[in-house]
């Protein structure tokens, strides 16, 4: 049986960023799933706080060079890669001088939310999918972690749905306790528009593009939802549990790899095909 392919799109991955629950999951979940005989790829933004020399990042020239247009402005897509040798795992980084050279992740040194975080999320989501397309790698399942990945389901299920590489891809969206203050700019829905994206799909973020509605957009476009943290926004939690899609409750650091592996199989093999037997995985890390 051909290995299933899982694409991990993460807001944070350690050791490139400090250890948080999200960054630890971003690091060890792909490794654990790879050890369960699945093929994986992992993506994250190349934040300015990441030391390229220490982490041995290098640009992948054959994947770089595309321009993505957001709100009538061109932004150059740069792809970098690094290896986590102990896990035999590569991490791809989405980079751009306008969006990801600053030291902060989503806030400045004074804790102020970046004014262009909406465009950073758009660029990241589209950049990931364009890069996977260039890799000619067809994911059976895409797992998104954190709100900066929340637009990946929208674009995959709309703008990329006719591409044979993505036509059968399932999407899992994990919600964390990473809410942000206020809302994105009022023209956020307009900025999201590309060929294939339907106006009706954007209604949830048209009037008030805040964290709750951004999460709802991601859930609407996904095939399944999970709790990435033990406490998440109450409105988002209720929406996720009542949307009628497969839902995975929170699992702690001792059990999350096996829980996600079983959850993936439930989604991937839901149409009656037999799933392979797997050994349970021991705890990988804790924070």
Instruction: Look up the pTM and report it.
Output: 0.93
- Phi/psi zone of residue 244: left (φ > 0), alpha (ψ -120 to 50 degrees), beta? left
Identify the domain containing residue 33 by its residue range: 5-268
The predicted structure's pLDDT at residue 269: 87
In a domain, 284, yes or no: no
| pLDDT interval class at 95 (50, 70, 90) | very high
pLDDT in tens, 5-25: 999 999 999 999 999 999 999
User: Could you write out the DSSP letters of every residue in 59-128?
Assistant: E-TTT---EEEETTEEEE-EEEEEEEGGGTEEEEEEE-HHHH-SS-SSB-TT-PBPTTHHHHHHHHHHHH
In a domain, 257, yes or no: yes
| pLDDT interval class at 121 (50, 70, 90) | very high
For position 52, which CATH number holds?
3.40.50.2000
In a domain, 109, yes or no: yes
The predicted structure's pLDDT at residue 277: 47
In a domain, 132, yes or no: yes
Q: What is the mean predicted confidence (pLDDT) over 36-59? A: 96
The predicted structure's pLDDT at residue 74: 96
The predicted structure's pLDDT at residue 131: 98
Total structural domains within the chain:
1
pLDDT in tens, 170-188: 999 999 999 999 999 999 9
In a domain, 283, yes or no: no
In a domain, 279, yes or no: no
pLDDT at 274 over 90: no
CA–CA separation, 90 and 82 (whole Å): 6
Q: What is the mean pLDDT of the chain?
A: 94
Tokens representing residue 228 in the block: 């990435």
The predicted structure's pLDDT at residue 284: 54
Radius of gyration of the chain (CA): 18
In a domain, 274, yes or no: no
Q: What is the mean predicted confidence (pLDDT) over 44-72? A: 96
Please state, for a pLDDT cut of 90, what percent of the chain lies above it: 92
CA–CA separation, 233 and 235 (whole Å): 6
In a domain, 245, yes or no: yes
Angle between helices 211-221 and 234-242 (to 10 degrees): 20
| pLDDT interval class at 270 (50, 70, 90) | confident
Q: What is the mean predicted confidence (pLDDT) over 225-252? A: 97
């Amino acid at each position: 049986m051909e290995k299933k392919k899982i694409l991990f799109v993460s807001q944070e991955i350690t050791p490139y960023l400090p250890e948080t629950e999200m960054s630890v999951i971003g690091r060890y979940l792909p490794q654990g799933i790879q050890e369960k005989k699945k093929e994986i790829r992992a993506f994250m933004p190349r934040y300015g706080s990441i030391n390229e020399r220490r982490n041995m990042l290098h640009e992948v020239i054959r994947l770089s060079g595309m321009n993505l247009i957001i709100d009538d402005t061109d932004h150059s897509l740069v792809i970098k890669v690094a290896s986590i040798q102990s896990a035999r795992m590569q991490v791809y980084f989405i980079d751009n001088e306008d969006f990801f050279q600053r030291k902060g992740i989503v806030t400045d040194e004074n804790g102020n939310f970046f004014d262009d975080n909406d465009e950073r999320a758009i660029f990241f989501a589209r950049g990931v999918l364009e890069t996977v397309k260039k890799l000619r790698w067809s994911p059976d399942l895409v797992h998104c972690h954190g709100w900066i990945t929340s637009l990946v389901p929208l674009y995959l299920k709309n703008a990329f749905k006719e591409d044979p590489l993505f036509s059968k891809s399932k999407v899992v969206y994990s919600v964390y306790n990473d809410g942000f203050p206020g809302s994105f700019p009022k023209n956020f829905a307009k900025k999201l528009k590309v060929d294939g994206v339907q106006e009706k799909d954007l209604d949830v973020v048209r009037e008030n593009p805040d964290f709750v509605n951004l999460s709802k957009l991601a859930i609407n476009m996904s095939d399944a939802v999970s709790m990435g943290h033990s406490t998440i926004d109450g409105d988002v939690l209720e929406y996720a549990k009542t949307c009628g899609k497969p839902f995975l409750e929170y699992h702690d650091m001792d059990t999350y790899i096996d829980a996600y592996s079983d959850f993936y199989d439930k989604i991937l093999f839901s149409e009656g095909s037999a799933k392979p037997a797997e050994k349970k995985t021991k705890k990988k890390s804790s924070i």
